[in-house]
Amino acid sequence: MRKFIDIGANLTDAMYLGIYNGSKKHESDLQQILQRSWAAGLCKMIITGGNLEESRKSVELTNMDDRLYATVGCHPTRCGEFEENGTNPEDYLQKLKDTILSKQDKVVAIGECGLDYDRTQFCSKDVQKKYFEYQLKLTEYFKLPLFLHCRNAADDLYNILSKHSGLEGVVHSFDGTSEEANKFIDLGYYIGLNGCSLKTEENLEVVKALPAEKILFETDCPWCEIRPTHAGYKYIQRENLDFPSVKKEKWKPDHMVKSRNEPCNISISVIS
């Protein structure tokens, strides 16, 4: 069996506690999810932190299994938290730093951080840029790679990263152009792929052109599954779909939940 590392799993999401849109549908099944993951060939998994609260939870979840690791950082759409309700940005950054120090051997990247210009209703471009660059202090201090988010913001993200030479990391859930990918690769960054990277024929052409040695795989679960409407769906090898799924209202502990992506889906082979 091939072995995989899922570089981006949102295991702190409430869906894994059985909660959907604020409504409890079933009991927490995180332990069963992990069991399916290891059975599918995962040998390590990195739990994504999206803000201070999630980062703390991500680090705490690494206690469940030696194969679990975490990222610590603040997602671009949540960067308003740095100054929310009179918060001192330095205090927020220090709390992120303290979270890393609490279990430094388990924190393997700074993030999820970056820029998202598709959802500026949650956080303005200027605030995103300010606190993305602010978080680079963490990667410079701890010498950790970046787990980067980029939506419709490749030029600004590239410009900021190019000012900070010597940093490393991955642009996760990549859905941009070949030109954008090559610019990040030229800076030394990897490209992270999941179902959102395989939606259109244009996406597939970008993936085909990527150097294999610069690709990292992720599920970004519970999001970014490969759906029947995606261009990449036709390349799924059906024999890798080992686990049956049911609707959340008919939950069973040994089944996946429909439309809730899981780390075990990393084993789905996609021909690029």
List, as residue ranges, the binding site: 112, 149, 172, 220
- Measure the CA–CA gap between 89 and 73, rounded to whole angstroms: 13
C-beta of residue 109 within 8 angstroms of C-beta of residue 145: yes
- Point out the annotated binding site for a divalent metal cation: 112, 149, 172, 220
Closest CA to 225 of 245, 205, 202, 253: 245
Give the tokens for residue 135.
Answer: 């978080």
- Measure the CA–CA gap between 46 and 44, rounded to whole angstroms: 7
- Measure the CA–CA gap between 118 and 225, rounded to whole angstroms: 20
- Is residue 235 packed enough to be buried (19+ CB in 10 Å), middle (13-18) or exposed (0-12)? middle
- Measure the CA–CA gap between 147 and 206, rounded to whole angstroms: 20
For residue 111, the cross-strand partners are: 147
C-beta of residue 70 within 8 angstroms of C-beta of residue 108: yes
Q: On the CB side of 141, how many CA atoms lie within 13 Å of its CA?
A: 14
Give the tokens for residue 261.
Answer: 């992506």
Place of tokens 């409890």: 24
C-beta of residue 35 within 8 angstroms of C-beta of residue 260: no
